[in-house]
């Protein structure tokens, strides 16, 4: 009862076909689980059962979540930014269920995963039929909705440029370098600016005149989150160095500010999420004043995005999900380090790491002091560099009813 994971996939210049291909592979793994349910009572966790469990674990641990991220971070925001009238109404009805389905399937998978790991190791032959049925039924219904409504809408509404953008984002997510035709390479990838400065140049004379692009009120989308997603994808396409790096500025109880660079791990309609030690300097400052400012600066595109709002901790389940997705060594480092606290030497840090590694083994447990923060945006400003310091600035401000207004600011 072996299941192969090798089959021919469509090219990423057909991103909707790739998503359907992902669905087909998911269906194969769901079928394998159902066959495993029938196999185990008769044969136990024999070699065939172990191989089947390993195949299912391999796919759902390594690949299935990418499909969810394709939808959450790219396909759905792009559709929301493009759809109008009846399409927009249908999206508004479907998207909450799709996102809730992702969360439910992730929870169900965590339950089935532990059972499959025992079977894959030959340690158990127990697999709950109820858990499998709930997981398979949810996935099957979820895929029908997407294939019936979401995929056809994308095929109908997306331009060739949008399809290329979606396909490229999917490639980047899978560690594949996008190979875009020259006609689809953003203009911003033209010859890079030479920033070399000769000795003796006065600091005040260091000046770069911007002029690669412009930004008007008609260029930007109505939803600032969707607009951020558009710019973020363009930063990926332009091979910006660390496009996910952002400055996080906080203030302490006395009003003294500090900032540092962290990596964003998720953005959606709820806000912008990163993970850290809650006892770090920024954690302590956020307890005293739960407001922060984020800044993305993409010099290659002459762009920056400023985001301000209130910060809350993510749910423990979200923190668990991200913590256990990290390499084991990174998990141990989070346990071993008392972030921002003084320490006598690097050698003592290494000693603490070795002790944490010995205590944790292959399965570290997320410490309660480590988890996520999410900034719920109240103000988002998009800045495009222009010549003679006459820059373009478009700002969105959230209203009491949750809607956004946008306006131009003077440079």
- Answer whether 143's CB lies under 8 Å from 26's CB: yes
Rounded CA separation 323/274 (Å): 11
Residue 388: its pLDDT value, please?
81
Residue 5: its pLDDT value, please?
28
Residue 192: its pLDDT value, please?
42
Q: What is the DSSP letter of 46?
A: -
Residue 9: its pLDDT value, please?
56
119 is in an annotated binding site: no
Threshold 0.75, pTM exceeds: no
Residue 65: its pLDDT value, please?
82
Residue 160: its pLDDT value, please?
86
139 is in an annotated binding site: no
- Give the residue ranges of the chain where pLDDT is below 50: 1-8, 180-207
Residue 126: alpha-carbon gap to chain centroid: 34
Q: Does domain 224-408 have CATH number 3.30.420.40?
A: no
Sign of CA dihedral 259, 260, 261, 263: negative
What are the start-end ranges of the H helices in 238-338? 281-288, 316-323, 328-336
Half-sphere exposure of 25 (CA within 13 A, CB side): 25
- Answer whether 278's CB lies under 8 Å from 294's CB: no
Residue 81: its pLDDT value, please?
87
- 3-state class (DSSP) for residue 317: helix
Rounded CA separation 303/315 (Å): 32
393 is in an annotated binding site: yes
150 is in an annotated binding site: no
265 is in an annotated binding site: yes
Residue 296: alpha-carbon gap to chain centroid: 16
Q: What pLDDT, in 10s, does the model give residues 19-35?
A: 888 898 999 999 999 99
Residues designated catalytic = 389
Q: Indicate the CATH number of 15-174 among 1.20.120.520, 1.10.540.10, 1.10.760.10, 3.40.50.300.
A: 1.20.120.520
Show me where the domains of the chain are located.
Answer: 15-174, 224-408
339 is in an annotated binding site: yes
Q: What pLDDT, in 10s, does the model give residues 72-96?
A: 989 999 999 888 989 999 999 999 9
């Amino acid at each position: 009862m072996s299941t192969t994971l090798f089959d021919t996939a469509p090219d990423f210049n057909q991103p909707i076909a790739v998503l359907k291909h992902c669905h087909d592979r998911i269906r194969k793994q769901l079928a394998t689980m159902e066959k495993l349910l029938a196999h185990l009572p008769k044969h136990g966790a024999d070699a065939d059962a172990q191989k089947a469990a390993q195949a299912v674990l391999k796919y759902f641990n390594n690949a299935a979540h990418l499909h969810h991220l394709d939808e959450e971070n790219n396909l759905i925001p792009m559709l929301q930014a493009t759809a109008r009238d009846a399409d927009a109404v249908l999206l508004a009805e479907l998207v909450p269920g799709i996102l809730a389905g992702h969360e439910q399937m992730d929870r169900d998978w965590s339950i089935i995963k532990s059972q499959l790991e025992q079977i894959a190791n030959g340690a158990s032959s127990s697999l709950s039929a109820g858990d499998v049925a709930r997981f398979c039924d949810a996935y099957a219904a979820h895929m029908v909705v997407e294939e019936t409504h979401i995929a056809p809408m994308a095929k109908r509404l997306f331009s060739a440029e949008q399809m290329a953008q979606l396909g490229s984002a999917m490639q980047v997510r899978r560690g594949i370098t996008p190979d875009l035709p020259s006609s689809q390479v953003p203009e911003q990838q033209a010859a890079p600016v030479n920033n070399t400065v000769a000795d003796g140049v006065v600091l005040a004379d260091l000046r770069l005149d911007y002029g690669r692009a412009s930004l008007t009120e008609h260029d930007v989308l109505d939803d600032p989150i969707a607009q951020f997603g558009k710019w973020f994808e363009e930063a990926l396409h332009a091979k910006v160095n660390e496009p996910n790096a952002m400055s996080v500025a906080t203030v302490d109880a006395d009003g003294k500010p500090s900032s540092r660079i962290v990596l964003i791990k998720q953005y959606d309609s709820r806000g912008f999420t990163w993970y850290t030690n809650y006892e770090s300097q920024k954690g302590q400052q956020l307890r005293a004043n739960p407001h922060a400012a984020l800044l993305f600066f993409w010099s290659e595109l002459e762009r920056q995005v400023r985001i301000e709002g209130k910060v809350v901790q993510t749910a423990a389940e979200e923190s668990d999900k991200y913590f256990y997705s990290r390499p084991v060594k990174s998990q141990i480092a989070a346990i071993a380090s008392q972030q921002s606290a003084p320490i006598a030497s690097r050698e003592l840090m290494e000693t603490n790491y070795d002790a944490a590694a010995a205590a944790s083994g292959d399965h570290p447990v997320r410490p309660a002091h480590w988890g996520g923060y999410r900034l719920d945006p109240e103000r988002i400003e998009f800045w495009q560099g222009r010549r003679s310091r006459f820059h373009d600035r478009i700002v969105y401000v959230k209203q009491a009813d949750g809607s956004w207004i946008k306006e131009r600011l003077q440079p």
